[in-house]
Chain A
Amino acid sequence: MTLLPASILAHAPVLVVVLPLLTAPVIALIRDGRIAAPLAMIIAWVDVVIAFALLNQTWDGTVVSYALGNWSAPIGIEYRVDLLSAGLAVLLTVSGGLVSLMMATGIAPEMAPGDRSRLYAAFLLCLAGLLGIVITGDLFNVFVFLEISSLSTYVLIASGSSRDRRALTAAFDYLILGATGATFFVIGIAFLYVVTGTLNMADLGDRLPMAGKRAVIVGSSFLFVGIALKAAMLPLHRWLPNAYAYSPTVMATFLAMTATKVSIYLMIRLADVVFHTPGELGRVNFAALMPPVGLAMLVFGSAIAITARDLKRLLAFSSIANLGLMLVALGLGGVAGIAAALINLFNHAIIKGGMFATASAIMHRRGSTQLAAMAGLSRQMPAAFAFLVIGGLALIGVPLTAGFVSKLSVVRVAVDLGDWVVAGGILFSSLLTVAYIWRIFEATMLAEPAKDAPAGDMHPAFWLPVGLLGAGTVVFGIYSAPIVELSTRIALQMAGGTP
């Protein structure tokens, strides 16, 4: 099955990145948001097709290598697409596509019309940067794309400022932390480059065993701290709750589905390519660090989420908890551990994306996502309420939802390894999850609705993204094979086996 003609398919690895990258400035120049939004949407969906073509190409374990400017690796920059890259590219582009469907409507109550086309440009730049990170095979290129996505993320967050001025300080805090983290990342690259003389990740993996041990330890530590910050790993999580809570809700949806996921991708990629010991980041045993930190994030994130007064902030802390779950799975290691981390990564993007998309619909109708302002939602916006229930049940891990598949996969790995602390910790955090999901139900279902609450359910523009993500949450809970199969194949390929 071919999705694209061969002449385009041959350049797919670079097209998927370059297309949004080059369209972004054009869109920024179009001042009329009514033209800019559909254009951004078309580009996002063309990217979805290209990403699926790449997935189709790499499904059997083929690694697509693309020499930029026909300079072959390791001299030139190589774009290298294996199943892990292609899987992430599909996740990123589909997230971008779904968000692009509702962004023109969703942004309306949160931003003045004249500025919107520049927001769409920043959105496409962010998409291009994130895609670049997962597609490129060059370590310095990863840094450049990391900065492209980060800079556009600061703009996306700050765009929430006309609704709440705190978006500005949230963006500034993230800029200081993000830029420091990215600089740590470059320092790490410098150390690895000094001892190996290469920046190509595959090449680096071959040469590192011969390199000086101390420099590699220093370099990998710097890299790890840089990535940990972007992954909001405790105690470097401080930027995330404000960034999600104050950015425009549609863009928070995009960030929740993609940004931190790419950091988890980098952890998996660097564990495999640069350090050649799957599940163990470098010769310092970062893997041993992950289960305790991950468990702390699970408990901390869930506990703080209970106290949140705003739906977006609640979901942000819930994201920290879920990132903890991914780190726990990564730390447990092995093929099953990496597969479990990936299952969590894909499923969480769907579940949390669905909940944030619903929050966008509520923001659009009511101008607020404060829990206190959502009284009577179950009667006034029954559809939005239903999708919140589906997402909430999935976050708890109720059977027949994608969340159950995610949690089961990690618990199963922990039980197989006899790690009862981890298994118990995950179950305990599920209890905390019940408590914060109950807070949503309590606010929307039991409280008396305000008399002057705006009438009407979700705006039609939200139906497709919210519906698809909600349906995904249920479908991948009942028929979990596609995501489990993809994740297992990737983990096998990472471990050096054939998928």
Chain B
Amino acid sequence: MKDLVGLFPYWAVIVLMMTGLYIVIAQGNLVKKLIGLGIFQVSVFVLYIAIGVVDGGTPPILDDAFSVYSNPLPSVLILTAIVVGVATLAVGLALAVRIREAFGTVEEEDLLPLTGPDQPAVTDLEREARS
């Protein structure tokens, strides 16, 4: 019981991590894949913030009344990782939009037959001429 409550953030991390990774692997829709990737990354953010907590510690703000502070470094690191995560998501979504424009679908099973190595190359010009 103590493990269940005391280690609650870590249980949350494990559930989120597995959920995210499963979505990335199992979902065929590119946007859903990105959502899964986001959940997977968020689980790591929670992991980092959880390891920074010190039992009985206050937020790391300098004040004479307190002597035990939580470790601020993991939170700072994760601030960087959040920015990286947002950038990855932005590039990923931009690619999904372009894939939709070029292939007319964002479903992996529809994309696979169009993207094999033996398929003819379709250029921007040909695509514009067709539409």
Contact = CB atoms under 8 A, between A and B. Distances in A.
B48 interface: yes
Contact of A168 (B41, B98, B119): B98
Interface in A311-343: 313
A72 interface: no
Contact of A151 (B33, B51, B88): B88
A144 B80 contact: yes
A158 B98 contact: yes
Interface string A236-253: 000001100100000000
Contacts of A175: 88, 91-92, 95
Contacts of B40: 180, 183
B103 interface: yes
**Of listed B84, B96, B124, B127, residue having the most chain A CB within 10 A:** B84
Contact of B119 (A166, A176, A182): A166
Interface string A137-161: 0001001100100010011001001
A74 to B, nearest CB: 11
B15 interface: no
B115 A179 contact: no
Contacts of A161: 98, 102, 124
Contacts of B124: 112, 161-163, 165
A186 interface: yes
A161 B48 CA distance: 38
B117 A313 contact: yes
Nearest to A186: B44
A175 B30 CA distance: 11
26 contacts: A140-B80, A144-B80, A144-B84, A147-B84, A151-B84, A151-B87, A151-B91, A155-B91, A163-B123, A165-B102, A166-B115, A168-B98, A169-B111, A175-B88, A175-B92, A176-B34, A176-B92, A179-B37, A180-B37, A186-B44, A186-B48, A190-B44, A190-B51, A193-B51, A194-B51, A309-B117
A171 B102 CA distance: 14
Given A144-B84, A158-B95, A190-B74, 18 more contacts: A112-B124, A140-B80, A154-B91, A161-B124, A165-B102, A165-B121, A165-B124, A168-B103, A171-B95, A172-B30, A172-B99, A180-B21, A180-B24, A180-B40, A190-B51, A193-B74, A241-B117, A313-B117
Contacts, number: 98
Interface in B78-131: 80-81, 84, 87-88, 91-92, 95-96, 98-99, 102-103, 111, 114-115, 117-119, 121-124, 127
Nearest to B30: A172
**Of listed B21, B33, B92, residue having the most chain A CB within 10 A:** B92
Interface of B: 21, 24, 30, 33-34, 37, 40-41, 44, 47-48, 51, 74, 77, 80-81, 84, 87-88, 91-92, 95-96, 98-99, 102-103, 111, 114-115, 117-119, 121-124, 127
Given A183-B44, A186-B81, A163 B121 contact: yes
B24 A176 contact: yes
A310 interface: yes
A164 interface: yes
Contacts of B74: 190, 193
A245 B117 contact: yes
A241 B115 CA distance: 13
A309 B91 contact: no
A169 B115 contact: yes
Nearest to A179: B88
Interface residues of A, number: 38
A176 B37 CA distance: 7
B92 A172 contact: yes
Contacts of A168: 95, 98-99, 102-103
Contacts of B47: 187, 190
Contact of B77 (A140, A151, A180): A140
Contacts of A308: 117
A176 B44 contact: no
A309 B120 CA distance: 12
Contacts of A143: 81
Nearest to B120: A164
A164 B127 CA distance: 10
Interface in A234-270: 241-242, 245
A182 to B, nearest CB: 8
Contacts of B123: 162-165
Contacts of A169: 99, 103, 111, 115
A245 B99 CA distance: 17
A353 B40 CA distance: 36
Nearest to A174: B95
Contacts of B98: 158, 161, 168
Contacts of B103: 165, 168-169
Nearest to B71: A197
A166 B121 CA distance: 8
Contacts of A242: 117
Contacts of B21: 180
